[in-house]
A and B are shown apart, each in its own frame.
Chain A
Amino acid sequence: MTIEEQLTTSIDIGNLFGTVEQFKNEGYRLVQISCTALGEGYEINYSFDKDYRFENIRITIREGTEVPSISGMYPGAFIYENEMHDLFGIQVRGMNVDFKGTLIRTTVKYPFGNPAPKGEEQ
Chain B
Amino acid sequence: MTRQIIVPFGPQHPVLPEPIHLDLVLEDEKVVDVIPSIGYIHRGFEKLVEKREFPDYVYIAERTCGICSFIHGLTYCQGIEQIMNIEVPERALFLRTIWSEYSRLHSHLLWLGCFADSFGFENLFMNAWRIRERILDVMEQTTGGRVIQGACKIGGVRRDIDNAKLSQMSNDLGSIRKEIDELTSVFLRDNSIKHRLQGAGVLGKTDAYQMGAVGPVARASGVAIDIRKTGYAAYGKLDLEIATECEGDSYARCVVRACELFTSIDLIKQAVKAIPEGPVDVKVTGAPNGEYFSRSEQPRGELVHYVKGNGTKFLVRSRIRTPTLTNIPPLVKMLQGCELADVPVIVLSIDPCIGCAER
* Residues of A bordering B, CB below 8 Å: 1-4, 6, 8, 29-32, 34-37, 45, 47, 49, 52, 54, 56, 74-79, 83, 86, 97, 99, 102-106, 111-112
When the two chains form their complex, are residues A54 and B39 in contact, meaning their CB atoms are under 8 A apart?
no
Closest B residue to A2 by CB, please name it.
B82
9 closest Cβ pairs, A-B complex: A76-B212, A76-B329, A105-B39, A104-B39, A32-B321, A34-B319, A76-B211, A36-B317, A3-B232
When the two chains form their complex, are residues B87 and A1 in contact, meaning their CB atoms are under 8 A apart?
yes
Chain B residues whose CB sits within 8 angstroms of the CB of A112 once the complex forms? 44, 46-47
When the two chains form their complex, are residues B78 and A103 in contact, meaning their CB atoms are under 8 A apart?
no
Chain A residues whose CB sits within 8 angstroms of the CB of B177 once the complex forms? none
When the two chains form their complex, are residues B42 and A104 in contact, meaning their CB atoms are under 8 A apart?
yes
Q: Name, among B39, B87, B209, B227, the residue most crowded by chain A CB atoms within 10 Å (CB to CB).
A: B39
Chain A residues whose CB sits within 8 angstroms of the CB of B304 once the complex forms? 31-32, 47
The B interface, classified by DSSP as helix, strand, loop or mixed, is mixed
Closest A residue to B294 by CB, please name it.
A3
* Contact of B141 with A by CB under 8 A: no
Chain A residues whose CB sits within 8 angstroms of the CB of B37 once the complex forms? 99, 102-103, 105
When the two chains form their complex, are residues B319 and A76 in contact, meaning their CB atoms are under 8 A apart?
no
Chain B residues whose CB sits within 8 angstroms of the CB of A35 once the complex forms? 319
When the two chains form their complex, are residues A74 and B212 in contact, meaning their CB atoms are under 8 A apart?
yes
B230 interface neighbour in A4, A31, A37, Cβ under 8 Å: A4
Rounded to whole Å, the gap between the CB of A59 and the closest CB of chain B is 15
With A36-B319, A104-B38 as given contacts, are A47 and B293 in contact (CB-CB < 8 Å)? yes
Rounded to whole Å, the gap between the CB of A27 and the closest CB of chain B is 9
Chain B residues whose CB sits within 8 angstroms of the CB of A97 once the complex forms? 35
Chain B residues whose CB sits within 8 angstroms of the CB of A104 once the complex forms? 38-39, 42, 358
Rounded to whole Å, the gap between the CB of A49 and the closest CB of chain B is 8
Closest A residue to B87 by CB, please name it.
A1
Chain B residues whose CB sits within 8 angstroms of the CB of A3 once the complex forms? 78, 82, 230-232, 295
When the two chains form their complex, are residues B39 and A103 in contact, meaning their CB atoms are under 8 A apart?
yes
Number of A-B contacts (CB under 8 A): 93
Rounded to whole Å, the gap between the CB of B6 and the closest CB of chain A is 15
When chains A and B are docked, how far (Å) is the Cα of A103 from the Cα of B209? 23
Interface residues of B, count at CB 8 A: 42
Q: What are 7 inter-chain pairs, A to B, with CB distance below 8 A? A: A3-B78, A4-B295, A34-B306, A36-B308, A76-B326, A105-B39, A111-B44
* Residues of B bordering A, CB below 8 Å: 35-40, 42, 44, 46-47, 78, 82, 87, 209-213, 225, 227, 229-232, 291-293, 295, 302, 304, 306, 308, 316-317, 319, 321, 325-326, 328-330, 358
When chains A and B are docked, how far (Å) is the Cα of A27 from the Cα of B87? 34
When chains A and B are docked, how far (Å) is the Cα of A3 from the Cα of B83? 11
When chains A and B are docked, how far (Å) is the Cα of A112 from the Cα of B292? 20
Chain B residues whose CB sits within 8 angstroms of the CB of A103 once the complex forms? 36-39
When chains A and B are docked, how far (Å) is the Cα of A2 from the Cα of B81? 10
Q: Name, among A32, A34, A97, the residue most crowded by chain B CB atoms within 10 Å (CB to CB).
A: A32
When the two chains form their complex, are residues A54 and B295 in contact, meaning their CB atoms are under 8 A apart?
yes
When chains A and B are docked, how far (Å) is the Cα of A29 from the Cα of B210? 7
Chain B residues whose CB sits within 8 angstroms of the CB of A86 once the complex forms? 39
A52 interface neighbour in B230, B306, B319, Cβ under 8 Å: B230
With A36-B316, A103-B39 as given contacts, are A54 and B293 in contact (CB-CB < 8 Å)? yes
When chains A and B are docked, how far (Å) is the Cα of A8 from the Cα of B308? 13
With A45-B306, A103-B37, A106-B39 as given contacts, are A6 and B329 in contact (CB-CB < 8 Å)? no
